Amino acid sequence: MENNNLKISYLLPMRGVAGGVRSTIRISNELLARGHEVRILYRNDPLRLRRKLQKTYVKLRYRPGPDCLSEFKGQAFVYDRLDRYEFSADELVISICQKTTEDMLTLPANVGMKIFHCRGVDVLDWQGMLETWNLPVPKIVSSTKLVKTFQKEVQQSVVGVAPNGVDTKEYFPCIPESERRGIGSLFGWGKAKDPTSMLETMQIIGKRLPDVPRYLFSSGRRPSGTRGIDFQRLPSLARARSIYSSCKVWFLSSISEGFGNPILEAMACGCAVVSTVCGGPEDIIKDGENGFLVDVGNTQAMAHKITLLYKDEQLRKRICDNAMKTVQQYSWSNAAEKLEKLLYLIYETHFKKSNSTIGSKR
């Protein structure tokens, strides 16, 4: 079975640069490279005039690079109704969020094998999230914390864990080590990112280490209270790599992370990392070995660990050396292999009575 090709349709809530979209594009390219037939369908999101003007302003002001969908090597289609596209009975249709799961379930029961690939929790619509989690479709998750959350909240098991990866050809130390002087973080306006705690931590660091450069980058606008901080909106890959490489320590203050790609990216660029205990990072970081973990919202503990790593070069070097070993375990190739095994398992479980050949035309 595992020598045959799968037919896969990923359903995305939008195009753009969001983490879930970016990870889906990357894993889809890996599946294509393995010989599978993969296409992406993304929701048509009608924009109101105000949002159109905002998007136009951002493009003109910040000149961001092409969105993630432009990096997909297969075919991508926009949809407002899925029934306008053909799906075969043996096709794996994979949603990644509440909206696309609702769309997926509008397809007839005999069309495709429907799968929910959960990449995190929805802290803004917890009840809607639980309703999605309760739906009778196989679930794949991106971290072991999500396995436990499914068991606790909806008393359901999942098929398995398929983590994300990091590309060390994109993320690597790119400036001399002697020029690495800063402390950085990723800023997000969403509740899950806990922007209040992140900014408070930055302010504490500014007082404790007043001569240390501080860096932030974000897909959103610059927040108030960031005077004296180097803030970059929508940095290019090269610029993001340079920011990571300029930092001795990188921290993450989130309330919830389905996986936490910035942790791996920072590690790959030579940073020591500190994260809250917020989900995905707990799979990546072994506290005291390749990074540090602190409780959500504890800005004093976060600032203490950051300062400790910054001032103790021997400790930071040991942490960074171990982090580089961790990075090697999280290649996108390894991520694709783990996901592929789960998809084969789902196929065999639900189509074991079928004699149809995987890889036949749509």
Whether residues 26 and 157 share a domain: the answer is yes
Sheet holding 75-79, edge to edge: 75-79, 37-43, 7-12, 92-95, 113-118, 139-141, 160-161
Are 129 and 264 contained in the same domain? no
Q: Could you tell me if 202 and 325 lie in one domain? A: yes
Burial class (CB in 10 A: 0-12, 13-18, 19+), 72: buried
Is residue 121 a part of any domain in this protein?
yes
Q: Are residues 190 and 279 in the same domain?
A: yes
CATH code: domain of residue 113 = 3.40.50.2000
187 and 289, same domain (yes or no):
yes
Relative orientation angle of helices 237-245 and 261-268, to the nearest 10 degrees:
70
Is 204 contained in some domain? Answer: yes
In a domain, 39, yes or no: yes
> 151 with 12, same domain?
yes
- Would you say the pTM of this structure is higher than 0.85? yes
Residues 225, 161 within the same domain: no
| Total structural domains within the chain | 2
Same domain, residue pair 322 and 205: yes
The Cα 98–Cα 109 span in angstroms is 18
Q: Which domain holds residue 310?
A: 177-329
Reported in sequence order, the residue ranges of the chain that DSSP labels E, i.e. its strands, are: 7-12, 37-43, 75-79, 92-95, 113-118, 139-141, 160-161, 182-186, 214-218, 230-233, 247-252, 272-276, 292-294
Do residues 218 and 132 share a domain? no
| Residue 156 CB-half CA count within 13 A | 20
Q: Is residue 171 part of a domain?
A: no
Q: Is residue 356 part of a domain?
A: no
Question: Taking each helix axis from N to C terminus, what angle separates 332-351 and 19-33, rounded to the nearest 10 degrees?
Answer: 80
Q: Which of 211, 44, 39, 21 is nearest to 120 (CA)?
A: 21
Q: Which residues contact 177 (CB under 8 A, 6 or more apart)?
A: 270
| Single-letter residue type at 252 | L
Q: What is the pLDDT along the chain (362 residues), one digit of tens a residue?
A: 455 899 999 999 988 767 688 999 999 999 999 999 999 999 987 665 555 556 565 555 655 555 788 899 999 999 999 999 999 989 999 999 999 999 999 999 888 899 999 999 988 899 999 999 999 999 999 999 999 999 999 999 999 999 999 999 999 999 999 999 999 999 999 999 999 999 999 999 999 999 999 999 998 899 999 999 999 998 999 999 999 999 999 999 999 999 999 999 999 999 999 999 999 999 999 999 999 999 999 999 999 999 999 999 999 999 999 999 999 999 999 999 999 999 999 999 876 645 444 444 44
Report the alpha-carbon distance of residue 217 to residue 59 in Å, rounded.
16
| Residues 79 and 151 grouped into a single domain | yes
User: In DSSP terms, which residues pair with 24 in a beta bridge?
Assistant: none
**Same domain assignment for residues 143 and 189:** no
Residue 358 resides in a domain: no
Residues 190 and 270 in one domain: yes
Residue 229 lies in a domain: yes
Within a domain: 194: yes
